[in-house]
Amino acid sequence: MADKFDQIMEKFLCPVSELEGRVKDSLYFLRKDGCFVFSHGYYHPTPGEFIGKIIYYPLENGTADIWGRSYEAMHKTWIDGEHVAIMNDVQIHKQYEVDPNLDRNRLRPLVADYTLEFPIDDFIGYFDPHRSLELCMEMYPQLVVNWTEQTSKLMEFPVEKLGVTGSLAYGKIEEEDMDYDVIFMGGLEENRRVRDELRRLARDPERKVFEFGRYWPIRIMNKGYLLCPFFVYENWDDVPLADAEIELVRDEVTVTGKIIDDSDNSYLPIILELGEVTIDGREREPIRIICYDGSIRGEYWEGQKIRVKGRLLNITDEDGSYEAVAADISYDIIELKNGRYPV
């Protein structure tokens, strides 16, 4: 007889065949060994695989309970009664410890060095964001219905274009957090309008979110719940990098510049267009910055001056061939303060 875990998974999971080989950002997958894996971005260079990270793994006496089964989180932990984020560079080493079948010698993606590639055939299924939202609204008619209606009204965004990720993807509310991890699955202008409104609202002291030791510029408190937004491109034609070919030009460069286009600063990967550029102290034409660290969604905006450490790449896609710089982790990007770049 199926236990509660199996009953919920049977209800929520969708077959991976429905994806037709196109994996979008922020999807949860359930692997055959019980691991929950999170997809990152849209660039999945190896046929039959997708870029992502293990988020929860089965562990006897683990600190997380997922529908009656014991798990441990890969991305956060409890220290002295406080939830603390685990940085990406620490997570990547833990991935190999948790899954001994992962090849440590296999090169990781050039644009996303703190992620791994997972064969899609290793998975039982995935959690469709909108379907999960509909099921959660049935399961939690007070909380999730209220959160959804309030979010839709506040953002003037249709419910049918909303989805959920995080634990809500598989029907579980983490009561200690009361986070509403909502996905906005709109067109470019729709999503940008929501992003800008969240940024405006986040300046209100009553709505500001301080979590994991920092301020989050597009997360807000709203009527008792934490609105944590994720943005997904509605149309594949709008997705940068999805079908790109990427080559390494130089492994370590330092770039400075002023952000002249922040259109894709709330997606994953974060993409910023820089002007007034120098690379290793030499002036050059505008260049794109690419970062797969989701903790800086909505962090950097047009007009800010930044310094970036990363690898110089040559990218070829339908727009032609151009250079870009990939930054792996949040502290590879530093904002200019007081007229000079930090050393």
Q: β-strands 270-279, 214-216: how paired?
A: unpaired
Predicted TM-score of the model (pTM): 0.93
Q: Does domain 240-335 have CATH number 2.40.50?
A: yes
* Span 226-255, average pLDDT: 95
Are 131 and 149 a contacting pair, CB within 8 Å?
no
**Lowest mean pLDDT segment, chosen from 14-23, 121-130, 212-221, 257-266:** 212-221
Per-residue confidence at 339, pLDDT binned at 50, 70, 90? very low
Residues whose CB is less than 8 angstroms from the CB of residue 89 and which lie 6 or more positions away in sequence, other chains included: 114, 328, 329
Residue 248 pLDDT > 70: yes
Mean residue pLDDT across the chain: 92
Helices and strands per DSSP (H, E), number in the chain: 5, 22
CA dist 310 and 250 (Å) reads 9
Return the domain boundaries, the chain. Answer: 4-127, 129-236, 240-335
**Measured at the alpha carbon of residue 66, what is the angle toward residues 65 and 67, in degrees to the nearest 5?**
110
DSSP-assigned letters across all residues of 137-184: HHH-TTHHHHHHHHHHHHHT--GGGEEE-GGGGGT---TTT-EEEEEE
Strand partners, 321: 316
pLDDT at 285 over 90: yes
Pairing mode, strands 333-335 and 305-317: antiparallel
What mean pLDDT do residues 16-29 have? Answer: 95
Q: What is the largest CA-CA distance in the chain?
A: 67
pLDDT at position 341 is 44
Write down the residue that tokens 């441990």 correspond to. Answer: 72
